[in-house]
Structure 1
Amino acid sequence: MGDGAPILVPSGQPVTLQDVIWNEMGPHGLTMRFRFLAPQIARAGGAVDFDAAVQDMQVLCEQFALPRIAEFGPMPQQIIISLSDVAVPFGETAPEATQFFEAFALQDGACIWEIY
């Protein structure tokens, strides 16, 4: 689904959209998942740690996901942003992959971090 164009994030790492999963029910209702490739979070030789990646995920929610959610249909209750150093098919395990996930509630047009 992603066009391979890099998305600007605070860490400066090259992040690209892998895909979007919508029409999924989560614990709080309709959930949209925006999945991104972020090769610099890799355990071996990665330059971006979890703390920096969290800031990237906040920006990806607010500046990338929020402007696009209307394209997919009904307004979700939650957005999940995930970063992976390699492409992993949705729902499959990949022990060799480094993956970070954060969940956000939508409130007054903003992404509010939730414990995931």
Structure 2
Amino acid sequence: MHSRAFKAISFAAILSVLTGAAATATGQEEPLAVPSGQPVEFVEMLWDRPGGGLVYRFRFLAPQISAGMGFEQSAADMEYLCREFALPRVANTGPQPRQIIISLADRPVEFGVTDADAVQYFEAYRVENGGCIWEMF
């Protein structure tokens, strides 16, 4: 994808404006609590306006997905992250999205760059009646 098609908000700006999450003494973000119990850290939010409307992408680091944490467990985490992390944050950002995409990666991967060694999971959700409705890609 072309970098012009997406806008990224810096990690620091997201943390200070949107998350309100506690940071450790070293300044690192504490892992988010998700149903599976795996450690998950927020990385960034991206957005674009493809022909179908506004899409927000929330990207998370989840190192355990490459060490036995299966897709089914991670799918429940992604739904939870959409509902409990993403929706409250987009409620205050302006125009409401048509879709929210949640992604988990076992290591940092630059958006739009292929990394054959990385394990990545993605799910898309339609925003409807204040909730996240799963959509097949």
Runs of 4 or more off by more than 3 Å in structure 1?
A: none
Bigger Rg, which one: 2
Cα deviation for residue 4 of structure 1 reads 2.0
Deviation at 1:87, TM superposition (A): 0.6
Which whole-Å deviations, capped at 9, do the CAs of 1:37-83 have from their partners, x for residues lacking one? 000001xxx13100000000000000000000134331110000000
TM-score by length of 1: 0.91
TM-score w.r.t. structure 2 length? 0.77
Within the alignment, does 1:57 sit opposite 2:57 as a pair? no
Is contact 1:82-1:101 (8 Å) kept? yes
Structure (1/2) with the larger strand percentage: 1
Distance in 2 of aligned mates of 1:13 and 1:111: 21
Task: Name the count of aligned residue pairs.
Answer: 112
* Helix, strand or coil at the partner of 1:40: helix
Q: Could you tell me which residue of structure 1 aligns to residue 5 of structure 2? A: none
Q: Structure 2: state its 5+ residue gaps.
A: 1-10, 16-27
The one-letter code of the counterpart of 2:60 is F
Q: Deviation per CA, 1:1-38: give whole Å up to 9, x if none.
A: 1552211111100000010002x024631100000000
The one of 34, 42, 49 equivalent to 2:58 is 34
Q: What is the SS of the residue equivalent to 1:29?
A: coil
Unaligned runs of 5+ in 1: none
Instruction: Choose between structure 1 and 2 for higher RCO, CA contacts under 8 A separated by at least 6 residues.
Output: 1
How large is the RMSD of aligned CA atoms in angstroms?
1.3
| Contact 1:16/1:38 (<8 A) preserved | yes
Which residue in 2 is equivalent to 1:25? 49
Percent identity between the aligned chains?
A: 49
Q: Is the 8 A contact 1:57 1:102 kept in 2?
A: yes
